[in-house]
């Protein structure tokens, strides 16, 4: 089986491993949710600047795609998911080292509009979303597969507006794709993560979806079963550090809920 995202989305950098012996400085491959791209790239850069070491490669896509690739045998060491459900999907198929799994960060869901669009609507039960779209499209990750889209549909359903809105939805492969539809003028608004707002200049935040309108948006991370190395273990430990927490916070992520 081929893995197109693995071939096309690699970002190579040196992994800082501090005092790890040379024998431990092997390549570490991370499969990470598309919404983590900017923060993860910065963390990779910090590793490279501090201590040249093993080769760290990150492949970014929707968590659903990555989970399926991992369970099909894609050569990854770490899975960073935007959805506990897709992490569990991989775990249930024996592809995740459950002992290494932990929740790393959290996120929020927001409604954003294109720079040229004025949307005067307050997010709440039965809010007039279709009317606010004024015949335009609402971009979101595919609500059948992409975590951001699944959360978005759940919120719209709980607020009583999904049935009226569904026909206006433009489905994207991930949150970055949803933002691209807004940038190209193919959608007037989008449901994305709060962390995505900084990626498009002039994007207007219409509002934040109530936390109780959807499941908590939590990002679990874990080692892929049978691939644990000193290098991948060191990277997972680094992601628990205050240094990593500062990077995630700067990109809009919140801390993971305490167990």
Cα-based distances in Å from 237 to 52, 61, 102, 232: 17, 23, 11, 9
pLDDT tens profile 110-137: 999 988 888 889 999 999 999 999 999 9
Residue 8: pLDDT over 60: no
Q: What percent of the chain has pLDDT over 90?
A: 67
Q: Round to whole Å and give the CA distance between 9 and 253.
A: 22
Q: Round to whole Å and give the CA distance between 175 and 193.
A: 8
Residue 14: pLDDT over 90: no
For residue 224, the number of C-alpha atoms closer than 13 Å in the C-beta half-sphere is 22
Determine whether domain 109-208 maps to CATH 3.40.190.10.
yes
Q: Round to whole Å and give the CA distance between 214 and 154.
A: 6
Would 4-106+218-255 and 109-208 be classified into the same CATH topology?
Answer: yes
Q: Name the maximum alpha-carbon separation found in the chain.
A: 61
Tokens of 225: 């079963």
pLDDT tens profile 141-173: 999 988 899 999 999 999 999 999 999 999 999
pLDDT band at 242 (very low <50, low <70, confident <90, very high): very high
Over the chain, what is the mean pLDDT?
87
Q: Three-class SS of residue 256? A: coil
The one-character DSSP state at 124 is: S
Every domain of the chain and the residues it spans: 4-106+218-255, 109-208
pLDDT (0 to 100) of residue 143: 95
Beta-carbon contacts of residue 257 (< 8 Å; ≥ 6 apart): 103, 106, 216, 218
* CATH dotted code for 4-106+218-255: 3.40.190.10
User: DSSP secondary structure string, 41-85?
Assistant: HHHHHHHHHH---EEEEEEEE-HHHHHHHHHTT---SEEE-S-HH
pLDDT (0 to 100) of residue 60: 94
Q: In angstroms, how far is CA 188 from the centroid of its own chain?
A: 22
Q: Round to whole Å and give the CA distance between 121 and 110.
A: 13
Instruction: For residue 140, count other CB atoms closer than 10 A to its CB.
Output: 30
Residue 257: pLDDT over 60: yes
Tokens of 1: 């089986």
pLDDT tens profile 204-225: 899 999 999 999 999 999 999 9
- pTM of the complete model: 0.81
């Amino acid at each position: 089986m081929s893995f197109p995202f693995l071939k096309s989305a690699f970002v190579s950098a040196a992994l800082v491993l501090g005092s790890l012996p040379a024998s431990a400085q092997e390549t570490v491959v991370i499969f990470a949710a598309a919404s983590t791209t900017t923060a993860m790239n910065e963390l990779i850069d910090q590793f490279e600047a501090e201590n040249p070491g093993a080769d760290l490669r990150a492949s970014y896509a929707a968590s659903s795609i990555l989970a399926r690739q991992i369970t099909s045998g894609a050569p990854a060491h770490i899975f960073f998911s935007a959805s506990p459900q897709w992490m569990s999907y991989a775990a249930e198929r024996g592809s995740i080292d459950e002992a290494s799994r932990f929740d790393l960060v959290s996120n929020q869901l927001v409604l954003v509009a294109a720079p040229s669009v004025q949307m005067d609507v307050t997010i709440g039960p039965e809010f007039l979303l279709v009317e606010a779209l004024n015949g335009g499209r609402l971009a979101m990750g595919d609500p059948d597969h992409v975590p951001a889209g699944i959360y978005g549909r759940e919120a719209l359903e709980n607020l009583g507006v999904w049935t009226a809105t569904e026909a206006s939805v433009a489905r994207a492969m991930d949150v970055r794709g949803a933002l691209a539809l807004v940038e190209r003028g193919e959608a007037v608004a989008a449901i994305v993560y709060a962390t995505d707002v900084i990626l498009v200049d002039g994007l207007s935040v219409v509002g934040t979806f109530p936390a109780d309108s959807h499941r908590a948006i939590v990002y679990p991370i874990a080692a892929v079963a049978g691939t644990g190395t000193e290098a991948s273990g060191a990277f997972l430990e680094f992601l628990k550090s205050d240094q990593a927490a500062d990077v995630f916070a700067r990109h809009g992520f919140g801390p993971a809920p305490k167990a």
